[in-house]
Structures are given as structure tokens and as C-alpha cells.
Amino acid sequence: MTNYNWNYPTTVWVGKDRAKDLDKACFEIKTSKPLLVTDRDLISLEFIKDLVNELEKKFKLCIFSNFSGNPTGENVDEGVEVFKNNSCDSVIAIGGGSALDVGKAIAFMSGQTRPIWDFEDIGDYWKRADEKNISPIIAIPTTAGTGSETGRASAIINSKTGIKKIIFHPKFLPSIVILDPVLTKDLSPRLTGATGMDALAHNLEAFCAPGFHPMADGIAIEGIRLIKKSLLKAVKDGSDLDARSDLLAAASMGSTAFQKGLGAIHSLSHPLNAQFNLHHGLSNAIFMPYVLTFNKENIEERIISICDYLNLSKSFDTFLEWILKLRKELNIPHKLSDVIEINKMNLDDLSKMALGDPSTSSNPKKLNINDMKVMYEHSISGKLF
């Protein structure tokens, strides 16, 4: 029997207005000079201003927000420089997946001497790190998608190669996570849908990934149920805090569960996120049915067990129909050609990048470069397998 490692140590504070407990979280991790990392679009919002005002009464606070929606290694390097120049001792990451990924990477890299690419999620590269100097992290998501707040990695683009890399270390995990649905209620229907589909992709691929991890499976299948229950509700009524809470939980659950593995949905997405700045949740949503049908012979039993849990008719086709209907109701395009100029895509290069992505190794069906190219081709034409 193969040996596996299971890890679930994250502390999570959940509930309406829990972001107001941020000062308590800072005292909990014993910080005095936190670096607030947040999306540049959030800096001027009232809730951020209020949090900053309260923190500045009790701590020496610095702010960093100079990074893109698909962050690069240079963004992290600049953040580390700000962290060190101001003698910061922790990171508070508030925002979407990019803010959380950058914040975690800054806290990690502030204690390293090697370049960030030396810690790519390959084998035991993570053991190269000086883990004694990883700064504590508080994470507060404002979207319900990536689940980066409970993840042990950051997705960062290497600008020199144009490839999105997964930087990994077990101690990337935030010390405290705050899930406050109030912070997500103004998220647009479009972004609510795209980020929700991202969370669905995480839970779904984790559940279908090969290997023995019943804890991840249990978390993932319940995450799928919460998305089915509440994604459309939140899209139709952004002020529904119960639905927003469900989605925040499902996002955190997806990231927690995918320590078991992901698959080709993510392998195909990452090159397009890096090359075309395509929203990660949107690309995951587009690729989802093509990857599901490609993997059908390897995942049909798993999909039927999901149907049983979701009270759907027990068949692969029923589940696929639910995915297609959900995407349509969320106005997610069916074809990649609806969002990218296809003549700008080099399928050979993209397929090579996708095959080399860390998510490929845990796809239920063994993949080669031609498989990647064929899935790209199907996602362009709209033809399912």
C-alpha cells in the first residue's frame, strides 16, 4: 500500500462581521509590525479604510498592493523588499486569490535566500527552504473561489518563461483565516459565478483524483453540495449572506481538499492564465466539461457517487448536464474561442506547458502532450468527447 500524508491544521474564524476581529487575530499571532497585502482595487473601499484605521491605532502597519491579477515573481520580490525595509514581522492578506497568493509568498520569501523558483512544487524542493523564518500570516478572502487562505501553495507567474508556477511549502498555511460573508456581498454576479466555478473545479478534481484520502474526499463532496445549493442564489442575490457563507466555506474546503491532487482542468488553465491574463475561475469553468468527458472512463463511478450525494439521477450524463446547465445560467461561455483570439494561441506550446504543470500528475487518466492538444482543440470547437 502506498503511503500518504494528510494535513489539516488551519484555524478558521467564520461569521458575519468577523473581519472586525482582525485586531484580535493580530494579538493572537503576536505581531507588532504587520504588512497588509491587498488588491489595489480594494485600497479605496470603506471596509479596508476602516480596518486600516483600527489597525494603525494598535500596530505599526505597512501596506503593499502593487501586483497584478495574475501575480509575477517580480511582484513578490517587491513585496519582500517592502516587508524587509519596514522590519515587518507578519503578513495580513486581504482580497482575492492574487492578494492571498502574493501575501503568502511574501511571508515565505522574506525568510529565504534562494530565488522563489527554487521552491516550485516539484518533489521535495520545499525542503530547500529555511522554515524557521517564515512569517505568520492572517488571510481574509473577499472572493469565494481559489481558497488560497487554506492552501499550502501560491500560483506565481515566471515572467521570463511566461509560465505559471506553483510555489509550495507546508508552512505556507496562514495562522488564522477569517471568513466574513459581508466582505463578499458586493462581488459582481459575473465574478461570483467565475470564482464559484473555480471552487467547484477544486472540489471536483480533488474528489476525482486518484489515491487514498477519505478526509479530502469527504470535504470535497460536501464542498460540491454547498456550491450546488448556493452559487446561483448568491449570483441572483448578492446580499444573501447565508449563500455567501456557503460559498466561502466551499472555497476553503476545495483548497483544503486538493492536497489530494487536481487534474487537467487546472493543467489546461494555468498556461492561458499566464499567457492571456484569462481569469482562472473562468478558464476552469470553460474546460470543466471537456476534461470530465475526456476522463469519463476513469471517473464515472466517482461521478455517480457525487450524484447520489447531490440527489441527482445516478449517471455520468446527468452530472454533465448539471454542469452545462449551471455554466449556462452563469453566462459562462461554452467555448474557449469565445474569450480568446484563437489565432494568437500556439497549441503546441500551450500543450507542452499544460503537460508540465504540477496538476497533470494527479489527473485520473494518464496524459500525454497529444491529449492536452486534443482537449484544447475540443474546447475551441465546443465538441465534447
Q: Is residue 72 part of a domain?
A: yes
**296 in a domain, yes or no?**
yes
Select from 335, 319, 325 the least CA-distant residue to 375: 335
* Residue 22 located in a structural domain: yes
Same domain, 140 and 265: no
**Residue partners of 103: CB distance under 8 A and separation at least 6:** 35, 37, 79, 91, 92, 93, 137, 139
* Residue 69: predicted pLDDT: 84
Residue finishing a domain among 183, 209, 233: 183
pLDDT digits (tens, 9 = 90+) for 13-35: 999 999 999 999 999 999 999 99
Number of domains in the chain: 2
Residue 4 domain-assigned (yes or no):
no
Residue whose entry in the numeric block shows the C-alpha cell 464515472: 300
311/262 same-domain check = yes
- What is the rounded CA–CA span in Å between residue 191 and residue 138? 24
Question: What integer pLDDT is reported at residue 1 of this predicted model?
Answer: 59
Whichever domain contains 349, its CATH number is 1.20.1090.10
Where helices occur in the chain by DSSP H, the ranges are 22-28, 46-56, 73-85, 97-109, 189-208, 214-236, 241-257, 264-276, 280-294, 296-310, 316-329, 347-356, 369-381
CATH of the domain at 167: 3.40.50.1970
Q: Are 216 and 206 in contact (CB under 8 A)?
A: yes
Q: What is the pLDDT of residues 111-160, one digit of tens each?
A: 999 999 999 988 899 999 998 889 999 999 999 999 999 999 999 999 99
Residue 44 covered by a domain: yes
Length of the chain: 385
Residue where a domain stops, chosen among 183, 205, 221: 183
**In terms of residue numbers, what domain contains 254?**
187-381
In-domain check, residue 99: yes
Give strand ranges (E) for 169-223: 176-179
Set of cell numbers at residue 375: 482537449
Cell 465574478 belongs to residue: 191
Task: For residues 297 and 332, state if they share a domain.
Answer: yes
Look at residue 132 and tell me if it is in a domain: yes
Low-confidence winner among 5-9, 87-91, 193-197, 340-344 (lowest mean pLDDT): 5-9
pTM for this entry: 0.93
